[in-house]
Amino acid sequence: MDRQNRTEIIDPINKSGREEHQTVSSLVSQKFHQGETMEQERVGGHQLGLCVLCGLPAAGKTRIAQALSSSLRKCKGWSCILLSYDDLIPLEAFSETEISHWRSYRHELLLYLEHFLQALIKGRHYVPPSNRTETMWKSFSSCLIEQGLISAGTEDSAFCQYLIDFIPLRPIYFILDDNFYYRSMRYEVYQLARQYSLGFCQLFLDSQVEVCLERNSQRKEPLPEETIFAMAQKLECPNPKKYTWEQNSLILKSAEFSFEDNLQVFNLLSSALENPVKSMEENAEEKEMDRAICASNVLHQADQALRRTISETMQKAKAKGLTPSEMKILSEELNKQKVEFLEKIKQKTNKENQFYVENSPFNITSVFSQETDDIVKKYLNKH
């Protein structure tokens, strides 16, 4: 089977299978059309779902997402919005040596999605968020415009109010296309669904590493092979038996996708819409995931604050006339101190300390500055 037929899973029309595909599409359309009226009435016209599409790079996720979106429109009449992280997140984010910058873009993208969901649910015009960064915001808003979900009300980007264009009784699915190799990454999307009582499901492409490497080599801008190998080692597959919030998950063998898989995907998406996540539904397992993500966010914010402090300190040191060799040694000492300081924060696992750190970036930099004063003075006193 060639590469195209291996990955074109949702709408696999070819010369030999056209008739069979049309039959399956008809069955799917007929089956789900029967429950359409009930679905529309239950949520007052707003039936929304989030579908996380995850797997290794070059597993075929984007092709599947595009085919799935097209098929849902044809068979179900649903609106499908494809959010491809590779297209929305700036390229420079993936070239950073530190993961925190890339992670900031991911969080920013989810904030934009939440901001839009708030406007959609409340029936308001879509106003750009005040704390946006223009590059990411332009990519996100252009994505919604190109897919017909919003249209610009004015030409003034600073004060633009977007009009939300949709058929009121038509379900809307947001398909998030990314690697999502850590469970915590997917759980953040689940949290969003839980907060607004949305449908939530996961499609995981279980593709062999060798297949991904072959496809990756054919890309215009292939990823380093070691990146794919490293991600394969870290990859956390959905585990509904252990994590109940992952119960709406389907693991697909992308190289062996069949028409039965096609129906399974439709069943999964429909079931997720019919059974949205309840905002009050939280157990010990989910609380632990929330706590872990909270702690991770605390460390991320602290890391960002300390980076800024070190950068400012280095600029002042340079202005004082430190030599290049002194600057290098000072940078190494400050970064070593930063690592030790972050480890101290990590050890503070009680809720009071987490709240204090998370909400007081000024205190973080203040305490860190006190710890590094002696290091800086050692060099500045020489000049």
State yes or no: pLDDT of 36 exceeds 70.
Answer: no
pLDDT of residue 95 exceeding 80: no
What pTM was estimated for this model as a whole? 0.64
DSSP letter, residue 22: H
What's the CA dihedral at 8, 9, 10, 15 to 10 degrees? 60
- The one-letter amino acid code at 99 reads I
Alpha-carbon distances of 377 from 364, 370, 381, rounded to whole Å: 20, 11, 6
| The dihedral sign for the CA sequence 236, 238, 244, 246 | positive
pLDDT the model gives residue 270:
94
Helix ranges restricted to H, the chain:
3-7, 18-33, 36-42, 61-76, 85-88, 99-122, 134-146, 183-195, 209-217, 225-234, 259-274, 284-319, 324-347, 351-359, 361-380
Least confident range of 62-71, 269-278, 282-291, 352-361: 352-361
- % of the chain exceeding 70 in pLDDT: 67
In the block, which residue shows the tokens 């429109």? 73
- The residues pairing with 52 across neighbouring beta strands, listed in sequence order, are 176, 202
Domains along the sequence of the chain with CATH: 48-274 (3.40.50.300), 285-381 (no CATH)
- For position 256, what pLDDT does the model report? 59
Q: What are the two backbone dihedrals, phi and then psi, of residue 54, each rounded to the nearest 5 degrees?
A: -130, 160
Q: Which three-class secondary structure state does DSSP give residue 146?
A: helix
Cβ(195)–Cβ(279) below 8 Å: yes
| 224's tokens | 């380093």
Entry field: residues in the chain: 383
DSSP state of 276: P
Tokens matching residue 333: 């000492």
Whole-angstrom CA distances from 284 to 35, 245, 289 are 34, 12, 9
Distance CA 112, CA 167 (A): 22
Burial class (CB in 10 A: 0-12, 13-18, 19+), 121: middle
Task: Tell me how far apart the alpha carbons of residues 192 and 184 are, in angstroms, rounded to a whole number.
Answer: 13
**pLDDT level of residue 24 (50, 70, 90 thresholds):** very low
Task: Give long-range contacts, CB 8 A cutoff, 24+ apart: 126-134.
Answer: 126/150, 126/161, 126/162, 126/163, 126/164, 127/160, 127/161, 127/162, 128/157, 128/160, 128/162, 132/108, 133/108
Query: Best-predicted range by mean pLDDT among 25-29, 158-162, 348-352?
Result: 158-162
User: What rounded mean pLDDT belongs to the chain?
Assistant: 76
Three-state DSSP class for residue 79: strand
Angle between helices 361-380 and 324-347 (to 10 degrees): 150
Q: Of 36-40, 49-53, 126-130, 182-186, where does the model show the most confidence?
A: 49-53
Pairing relationship of beta strands 48-55 and 199-205 according to DSSP bridges: parallel
Report whether pLDDT(325) > 60. Answer: yes
8 Å CB contact between 204 and 54: yes
pLDDT higher than threshold 80 for residue 165 = no
pLDDT band at 339 (very low <50, low <70, confident <90, very high): confident
When pLDDT is cut at 50, 70 and 90, the band that residue 209 belongs to is very high
For 92, half-sphere exposure in the C-beta direction (CA atoms, 13 angstrom radius) is 3
Task: Compute φ and ψ for 136, nearest 5 degrees.
Answer: -70, -40
DSSP state of 126: B
- pLDDT of the residue at 98: 46
Best CA proximity match to 335, nearest among 371, 357, 306, 301: 306
Average pLDDT of span 351-379: 60
Angle 54-56-58 (CA atoms, 0-180°, nearest 5)? 105
Is the pLDDT assigned to residue 101 strictly greater than 70? Answer: no
pLDDT exceeds cutoff 70 at 34: no
Stretch 83-110: mean pLDDT: 75
